[in-house]
Amino acid sequence: MQPYELSLSAAAEAIRARRLSPVELVDSVLNRIEQVQPDLNAYVTVTAEHARRAARAAENDIASGRYRGALHGIPMGLKDLIDVADMPTSASSRVRADHRARADSAVAQRLSTAGAVLAGKTHTHEFAYGLTTPQTRNARHPGRIAGGSSGGSAVAVAAGAATFALGTDTGGSIRVPAALNGVVGLKPTYGLISRHGVTSLSWSLDHIGPITRTVEDAALVLSALTGPDPRDPASLSDPAVHYHLTETTDLAGLRVGVPRNYYFDRVDPEVEAAVRRAVDQLRALGARLIEVDIPMTRYIQATQWGLMVPEATAYHENTLRTVPERYQDDVRILLEAGELMSAGDYLRAQRARELMRREWARMLREVDLIAAPTVPATAVETYRETITWGDGTTEAVADAYVRLSAPANITGVPSLSVPVGHDAAGLPIGMQLLGRPRAEDVLLRVGHAYEQTRRSSVEAPRGAPSRRADSAVRVSGQPSRAVKSGVSPE
Does residue 480 have a pLDDT over 60? no
Active site (annotated) includes residue 21: no
- Active-site position among 93, 149, 153, 235: 149
* Residue 131 pLDDT level (bands cut at 50, 70, 90): confident
Asked about 417 being catalytic, the answer comes back as: no
Catalytic residue chosen out of the listed positions 7, 9, 28, 79: 79
User: What gap in Å lies between CA 152 and CA 133, rounded to an integer?
Assistant: 7
Task: Work out the pLDDT band at 486, boundaries 50, 70, 90.
Answer: very low
Give residues with Cβ within 8 angstroms of 392, minimum separation 6.
none
> Would you state the pLDDT for residue 462?
57
- Out of 28, 90, 153, 173, the active site residue is 173
Burial class, 484, CB count within 10 angstroms (exposed 0-12 / middle 13-18 / buried 19+): middle
**pLDDT 10s digits, 93-116:** 999 988 999 999 999 999 999 999
What mean pLDDT is predicted for residues 273-293? 98
Higher pLDDT, 483 or 225: 225
7-48 pLDDT, tens digit per residue, is 999 999 999 999 999 999 999 999 999 999 999 999 999 999
Domain boundaries, the chain: 3-453
Mean predicted confidence (pLDDT) in 279-307 = 98
pLDDT, residue 413, reads 98
Q: How confident is the prediction for the chain on average, in pLDDT?
A: 93
Q: What is the CA radius of gyration of the chain?
A: 21
Q: How far is CA 477 from CA 144, 274, 331, 483, in A?
A: 15, 27, 21, 9
pLDDT at 130: 86
Q: Is 121 a catalytic residue?
A: no
pLDDT at 98: 85
Q: What is the percent of the chain with per-residue pLDDT over 90, rounded to a whole number?
A: 91
Confidence of residue 489 (pLDDT cuts 50, 70, 90): very low
Confidence (pTM): 0.93
Task: Please state, in angstroms and rounded to a whole number, the distance separating the CA atoms of residues 209 and 231.
Answer: 18
- Beta partners for residue 396, in sequence order: 386
What is the CATH superfamily name and number for domain 3-453?
Answer: Amidase signature (AS) domain (3.90.1300.10)
Over residues 457-461, mean pLDDT:
57
